[in-house]
Structure 1
């Protein structure tokens, strides 16, 4: 070990010993009280003075050595001199400032400790604690007297009555005592261990004054922090309900614990008051002890700081100069290997860390350059993929502005979207309604996503391009949230797919209707007319002839109606456009439910409507058909079940500002639910699980929903607990977002 290092360790140990001696004795003696501190103060002062003298000698020797090194021009002497000056400045100036402030603070604080206001505050605190305990005792005494009167009115007492009374009073123990102080009935936590009987004097006082209370367990601080704890014991005479002299006189005793914090604080205030009176007598000695301790601490701190700066400055200077040279090389761009200071202390570790950091910086720079090249390649690859996608892709930032757009989006929407980067989608001519619908769908998904749409949503939009009504396209749009509140929208033109599906579906509808329904109708009609022709002349009674004519007329008229129904189904593909007008959805629900009176009376059909639902923009006739189809399908699904139940409800969701967001029509049943293969194709014609169904119900619902810009969802309800594992029913919901004059309601739509 070098000489300078040994010097440093020796000085450090000397300083640590001196400061430790001062602090250890001061703290230990102060903890034992002022009298112990004052008794040891004199020899403690001279010991620390001797340590200060030794430090001064070391300081003089170190200063002489530093001056010689500086005159000889040795490397690092200037830095060592600066370090010594800085350490001395840092040690002396703050120490002197702290000493002056501490001196004034101690002098004035000690005088402030013994101010008359402090004494009055202690007196007031002691009186406050006594008054608080007395108030608690008086309050319990009053409650006990009232409880005794209530017991007298009841006429009979038992453990249950006393237990209830104990819970009402918040007490630990409630006891009914006899005339000789024996326990009659008791309730509480100590009932099993035996009830402590009150003193006879306290019992006599309670009988004379009707009630009495006393505080127990405050004899010393030990009883407060351990044992049963302080408590209030209150006794009250129970008035006799009869005039018999032979009836035994009873006394009600209630024991309630006192808050440990309150009683502990009262004892602390009392102890502080006694200690304050003792400190007044030793005020001057206490002031002298504190100031002497401050002076010794200042001298030791300043001498130790300056001496350590001189002795250990050389050890600090060498690695610092090495680091300075290494930093200069790094600043010039040289990230090669750097020298390391051979030492096990923190400074040597710092040079090793600097060398490791330089090596890591070189590796990181190489990796960063490689990552930049990979990032540029990935960006180019991603842009190439986006440019060649047939689907449209638009990325929106958190402010709903267009951030990224691919050529497919420009081709499908037939608009120069690239020119609107940084602007809203609604600013593009002709896309305002489309943008509003898309963002409504984003908000709906964020507020209450449907089952199966937790990560993204999917919906179809009708978009009209230009002024002509027939110049429109159908878009299948998928939306998903991105990090940072950004949004991704991917869409494709499915106009031709939808048109082909509709043509094929309704061609099959027309073929089946003509084959299964229309062909038998003409023979039925001819057979009925032939029966009328053959039997009319053979019936002698005029009433029989009239009945025959009416029956044949009924058959013929119903056959004609069936033919008309077939024609209407055949023409369904050319269903006229919806005639939109303000519609009260709740009124339409009431009209349709009037057709199912029996189901409602039997409890199989229940309606729950939102009275605050606004008016929709819709076609009343088509919406009635939607409600009728959904209710009929639900009743058919749970038919035959004794607990069959169909719930028809309307539900309104609002924006944070109170405006209507979405109005949902839900039909829920407790039937077997949708089969998986049917659920995927539920909206296609002739997809049904009914033996006699046509499969057009949900297809009609989907068609009308599209006409109204509404979305349709079907879900199976989760299985019930303890069931067979199958679904607990099904739910079909329509979500409408097109309203008429928010907040205003018109007269209900007249029944059709």
Structure 2
């Protein structure tokens, strides 16, 4: 039997919800790790382009990328372990899932490996080409060229400044400022200042005259200029590196000889400033920066190569792990519908029609799983309907079997050859033998049932041939079993009369129904005997009195007139006639009493008191057989006719005494008759039983013991038990008779009469 459909549906819904939640969590986690990995890889790439950012954050970014790659590797290891466990357990679909995952992994890994190999070669060779000898020579030449150019400009400014200083020295000191202003264009200077030997500003032209404190040379510069007769230098290149190219300039400091002849003539100094060309400064700075960076990277060539290769390898790991994980997930997504279908087919093949899982996707495989789930649900509903129908059929069959088992009629199902297919307990009870062990045997072959089986088979054949009543779909026939055998026939106790009815069943089977109408026949016989008794009593009783009177008159007339021999014959003959007439009168009176038994007048009656009253007629001193009483004081009042119950007690006691006196088996102890009453609380009846210790009823008499003129006595009429049966029927009582046995030996006969309790009687 299937489980409850509502519970099964709730279980399926819970499994689907759990499966969707698990897939959603795996997808979100995978996408999150891939995005984090890509973001970190992007940041790592940006840091590679920025050396300072690279140096400060590379280790952190690399560690985080390694952690993400490790998580992806752990996820792949976990999925691989699950696949391995499924494969070891032999679960269905494991090989298919492994094959799909392998295919997707190869599709994702192989191109990545190819790109990695090519990129590795490209990066390695590219980095080597960056540090070529020609590049290094070109950078050094450019750097030398810039230096030479600056030196040339510096020397040129120093020479020209010395010439200008000599010219100023030849003129008076008061004309120094005017001369300096005239020389600015010749020198290409932007600023000229004249300083005294003490460091005081004497004159300034150009930009310096607008400054409150013009740039003053240092003491060491004054000293060097005096010793070397000139000093030139480049100033402001460091500021130009930061972006202010206009601050780069060449300065020349030259001494101006004094015009006086005295020893105390003061030496003056002329400071000339000329701005460097911005193009020259920028080119020089670019060449210097490139050379500096080249030298730095040349020193860290292996580290740079490891950095790029490490970044490339980490990118490969992220790509490969992501590809493998996606391969497993996508392979599982593709294989899952197939596995669901295959597992569902296996369950259906095994008879499990519980609701199956169905995917909610919009693709064809999802639709196929939903169609399969719908099909299994329809099959489950159909099977449930069939089970309900089968349960109803089983219930109907059980009801029919119960009806058949409790039918008083016998029912036997036969095939066309007369073999027994099934039978009910009523058939075994009527035929007095168990038929179930003989199922499959022919009814006509069973001992004692040959005539019955043969006759029934003949009737079925005539019905099938259309030889029965026209238009009839059944036949009916009576059978007398056990007749012609005084000791009984086969398994029967005497003879029984059956009325059987047969009809055709589907599947070429035949139905045989029969009833034991022996009691009905017995009742009909009793009724017939009553009519015969009434007529006999009328026809026979009238001639008996004249016959008796004529014989007595003849004896009276001839008495004393005949010789002694003839007189003796006459007396003997008359006595015989009179005795036989008396016997005939008693017989006629018994028939008359049986035929004219009045209707019972039922009244509340104390059965024990009635029995005690009857027992006064059976004084132990004169009784042929002693009678013992076993009276139940709990017996309530019963409904009965006192006169007729009295007659029943007399008849039963006389039969019991006759059975004891005519018993053939010797006994050491005297035989007794027991009269017993019992209160049957379960059936609400009072049972009166008479038990004797005679030879019991012969088997041939048990079935017909209540019929008139059926007796075991040599001179009995057989009306005693017939009268008892008729009185019990008038009282609505149940009468049973049988033999008492112990260890197979007959102990005597027992006749019991069960009377109904009077209404309102305390019980």
TM-score (norm 1): 0.32
TM-score, normalised relative to structure 2:
0.31
| Higher Rg | 2
